[in-house]
Amino acid sequence: MPGIMKVEHVTSGYGEQMILNDISLEIPSHQISIIIGANGCGKSTLLKTMARLIHPTSGHVTLNNKPITKMAPKRLARVLGMLPQSPIVPEGITVSDLVGRGRYPYQSFMKGWSQDDYEAVAEAMEMMNITEFADRPIDELSGGQRQRVWIAMALAQQTDILFLDEPTTFLDITYQVEILDLLTDLNRKFGTTIVMVLHDINLSARYADYLFALKQGRLVAEGKPADIVTSDLIHQVFNLRCSIMVDPVSGSPSVVPIGRHHVREDEDELATKLEWV
């Protein structure tokens, strides 16, 4: 099942407070999409609404034209996985136990662990390079290793669509790149549709096939990074002046912010020296 996910006129929020305002979009299948926007613009709310963690107050999120709120939770969980921003690590849990909990949607009370379950867990740990830690308690791992364990758990769930809410936050740059590379591997190897919220605009522009830019609960732009990332858009979305350069490594657009300090006097000259996109 390819799993075509659409958001149709969704308005959503917590209680009285509306955070998303009439959003419609379609998630590109088999691609990596990244949602960008300023703090509090509704990025996480959009992701949670698409993962049916929040029910929209109006509109629907549909998977293959069926509203996800009408699907059985376990069945949906075999198609759509979500790694929240700060899941809880139970005290003393080992890596393999945690990864194994991703198999929940495939299990039932009468049916114990199947061969498929073991294989899915082993494969997920292999993919995230954590097989050697299988029997170690998670408390002993570094932040980057822990995040790989969580992603392995989500992989063990074997879904066509995977959502991640800021999977690289609190990691240093090396691990951020490592996690994004691993997710790209996953997308290329299995064709998994990945949607994530990311803070770093430059890494977003590099790793995303497709970007959604949100401002105050509204979708203001969407498209390939090279097509939509302009200094105007960044100004509109983040209220930040900037220059756009071409990332010398990937060729994707790269944002160079302009603050109040450390800006050269001769701005015109600066503009000519930088390669504008």
Q: Which residues bind another protein (CB under 8 A)?
A: 14-15, 48, 51-53, 72-78, 80-84, 86-94, 96-102, 104-105, 107, 109, 112-113, 117-118, 121-122, 134-135, 139, 157
Q: Which is nearer to another protein, 62 or 96 (CB)?
A: 96
Rounded to whole angstroms, the Cα distance separating 11 from 271 reads 41
Q: Which is nearer to another protein, 37 or 100 (CB)?
A: 100
Q: Which is nearer to another protein, 65 or 86 (CB)?
A: 86
Find the shortest distance in angstroms from Cβ 185 to another protein: 22
Find the shortest distance in angstroms from Cβ 225 to another protein: 27
Which tokens sit at 242?
């900037």
Find the shortest distance in angstroms from Cβ 12 to another protein: 14
Asked if 79 contacts 66 with a C-beta cutoff of 8 angstroms, the reply is no
Max intra-chain CA distance, the chain: 73
Q: Which is nearer to another protein, 140 or 275 (CB)?
A: 140
Q: Which residue has the tokens 């959604």?
A: 212
Pure H helices in the chain: 43-50, 73-77, 95-100, 115-127, 143-156, 173-190, 201-207, 225-228, 231-238, 267-273
- Cα–chain center distance at 131: 24
Find the shortest distance in angstroms from Cβ 116 to another protein: 13
Find the shortest distance in angstroms from Cβ 241 to another protein: 36
Which tokens sit at 246?
């071409």
